[in-house]
Amino acid sequence: MTSTSDLIARTSGSLERPRRLTVVGCGYLGSVHAAAMAVVGHDVVGFDVDADKIARLAKNDPPFYEPGLDELLEAALATGRLRFTSSYDEAAEHGEVHFLCVGTPQRADSNAADTSYVESAVEGLGPLLDRPCLVVGKSTVPVGLAEQVRDRLAEIAPAGAGVRLAWSPEFTREGFAVQDALEPDRVVVGVDRQEDADELGEVLAPVLALGMPYVVVDLATAQLVKNAANAFLATKISFINAMAELCEATGADVVALADAIGHDARIGRRFLQAGLGFGGGCLPKDLRGFMARAEELGVDQALAFLREVDDINLRRRRRAVDMTTELLGGTVEGARVAVLGAAFKPDSDDIRDSPALDVATTLHELGAQVRVTDPKALDNARRSRPGPDYVDDVREAVRDADVVLHLTEWKAFRALDPVELGDLVAHKRILDGRNVLDAAAYAAAGWQVRALGRPNAGR
Ligand code: UGA
């Protein structure tokens, strides 16, 4: 991973014509994008309806954990070219180019995406756009929404057809968001007219100068590219987790299998990490939103396989609970269970649809005494999933445990010494839900080891 300072050094100072940009929505995506654009030389206003969020961003106290974001924000704020507001008037007045970075979570009443934040951003900003400008959507949306946004803006903006729309989906990964903002592996933009892609290309010139492809497509394709990318990644993970089920039934080893098929460049080893499966604020809801949209379009059969992808993924969580029960000799009730990991993945404090927390909560509901630890996600976990105990210190979490579950693969957990850990627990039993621990070292230290998709792990 390239360091934040190196990324800043490589992308600053080369901008020919700085623009006045606004970034509407300062969550995981927007805050990083706003800071990145200021660092490369633009004059940026970040907008969010949440006044507390922007107050914290303005003093470089981000409301969430993202490696490198503090350094990026500090550099951006130091330029004097980044400020925050919760006034649509100020945002509209400022921007020559407006980026829409609001969230599109799953709707509470269905699998479809909730696009209300996009709609309210359009309704808030649109009537104030009285000069020609470019609006660039970055949110993940059901295909067809961009065209609706374009038409609605033309209708409600005083500048009318002078307000142009492009859609440039982001492929930012939490934990790597700074790198993905300043050096993404590609930039995709959907436009009606090449001039709009050229304009966005000028805005992003310092980033594009690092040499990644700039892919210009139509609006529908741009929206679908994002849906397809996340659906493919989810499918890849569920494919290897389906193989894990086969491995469990046959005595085979899914890690060795993934290594072996991964040598084939057509397949590749990345995103073939078998384990508890995918969670987070993106893959699960994007998968479901994509299926819901396909149904509306009358092509639900084309994505019927994604239902299976979702099911395989959720089955892994149940399997982890079953394996824990087996390790405990058949009874969960009253058992002391230590859970390492609450975040949906390492280097994040995001607990949205976290597989680790799902397993922890299920075991708690089954009557276990569950103690969860995580380097960054405990506050979020406590707030959203009361029930288990949440403790800061790993040693405290595992003390007197009857079983230890490794469910989010933070570096700090991987570095734990099985001998030292063994002295703290009541019973040396461990489930590796992410297949990254050294099973042989744990077994050598006297642990009974189980791992998803590796029936002979440590033996
Ligand atoms: C995902 C995509 O990777 C990004 O490209 C995309 O921009 C983003 O969603 C989004 O739509 O905004 P993210 O949610 O940050 O990014 O997380 P991933 O790195 O994709 O991991 C998702 C989940 O899959 C995690 O729970 C992770 O533990 C799990 N995973 C990942 C596996 O179980 N196995 C793997 O091999 C890889």
Domains recognised in the chain with CATH numbers: 4-217 (3.40.50.720), 236-451 (3.40.50.720)
For residue 94, the 8-state DSSP code is H
Q: How far is CA 49 from CA 22, 152, 194, 317, 393, in A?
A: 14, 21, 32, 36, 36
Q: With bands split at pLDDT 50, 70 and 90, how would you rate the model's confidence at 67? A: very high
Given CA atoms 275, 279, 285, 286 in this order, what sign does their dihedral have? negative
How far apart CA 390 and CA 190 sit, in angstroms, is 45
How far apart CA 100 and CA 91 sit, in angstroms, is 12
Q: Among 189, 117, 196, which Cα is nearest to 163's?
A: 196
Does residue 174 line the site of ligand 1, with CB under 6 A?
yes
Mutate which of 168, 173, 223 for ligand 1? The one with the most ligand atoms within 8 Å of its CB, which is 173
- How far, in Å, from the CA of 311 to the mean position of ligand 1? 17
β-strand partners of 389? 371
For a pLDDT cut of 90, what percent of the chain falls above it?
Answer: 98
- What confidence score (pLDDT) does residue 459 get? 84
What average pLDDT does range 188-216 have in this prediction? 97
Q: Interhelix angle for 304-327 vs 283-296, to 10°? A: 150
- Res. 68: pLDDT tops 90: yes
Tokens coding 393: 């210190």
Residues with Cβ within 8 Å of 264's Cβ and at least 6 positions away in sequence, in order, are: none
First CA to last CA distance, the chain: 34
282 included as an active-site residue: yes
Tens-digit pLDDT profile for residues 109-142 = 999 999 999 999 999 999 999 999 999 999 999 9
Asked if 117 contacts 77 with a C-beta cutoff of 8 angstroms, the reply is no
Asked if 316 contacts 243 with a C-beta cutoff of 8 angstroms, the reply is no
- Res. 54: pLDDT tops 80: yes
* 9-411-262 Cα angle (round to 5): 85
Q: With bands split at pLDDT 50, 70 and 90, how would you rate the model's confidence at 391? A: very high
- What confidence score (pLDDT) does residue 458 get? 85
- Res. 48: pLDDT tops 90: yes
How far apart CA 103 and CA 113 sit, in angstroms, is 10
How far apart CA 328 and CA 412 sit, in angstroms, is 25
Neighbouring CB atoms inside 10 A of 367's CB total 12
Residue pointed to by tokens 């993940």: 140
Residues with Cβ within 8 Å of 325's Cβ and at least 6 positions away in sequence, in order, are: 331, 332
Atom of ligand 1 nearest to the CA of 281: 14
How far apart CA 142 and CA 286 sit, in angstroms, is 9
Amino acid (1-letter code) at residue 313: N
Q: Which phi and psi (to 5°) does residue 354 adopt?
A: -75, 120
Exposure string over 281-305, b if 16+ CB within 10 A, otherwise e: bbbbbbbbbbbbbbeeeeeeeebee
- What confidence score (pLDDT) does residue 85 get? 97
| Averaged pLDDT score across all residues of the chain | 97
Atom 23 of ligand 1: nearest residue by CA position: 278
How far apart CA 436 and CA 412 sit, in angstroms, is 12
Atom 13 of ligand 1: nearest residue by CA position: 173
Under DSSP, is residue 74 helix (H, G, I), strand (E, B) or coil?
Answer: helix
- How far, in Å, from the CA of 280 to the mean position of ligand 1? 7
β-strand partners of 187? 214
Does residue 358 line the site of ligand 1, with CB under 6 A?
no
- Res. 230: pLDDT tops 90: yes
Helix H or strand E segment including 178: helix 177-182
- Res. 319: pLDDT tops 90: yes
Tokens coding 204: 């992003």
- List the catalytic residue out of 26, 101, 247, 282: 282
β-strand partners of 23? 46, 99
How far apart CA 165 and CA 190 sit, in angstroms, is 9
Neighbouring CB atoms inside 10 A of 336's CB total 19
- How far, in Å, from the CA of 172 to the mean position of ligand 1? 9
Tokens coding 322: 């079953």
How far apart CA 157 and CA 163 sit, in angstroms, is 7
Atom of ligand 1 nearest to the CA of 275: 33
Give the helix, strand, coil percentages of the chain, each rounded to 5: 45, 15, 40
- Res. 5: pLDDT tops 80: yes
For residue 190, the 8-state DSSP code is E
Q: With bands split at pLDDT 50, 70 and 90, how would you rate the model's confidence at 257? A: very high
Tokens coding 255: 């890690």
Atom 5 of ligand 1: nearest residue by CA position: 171
- How remote is the C-alpha of 169 from its chain's centroid? 14
**Strands lying side by side in the sheet with 336-340:** 389-390, 369-373, 336-340, 403-406, 429-432, 448-451
What average pLDDT does range 277-296 have in this prediction? 97
What average pLDDT does range 100-108 have in this prediction? 95
- Res. 1: pLDDT tops 80: no
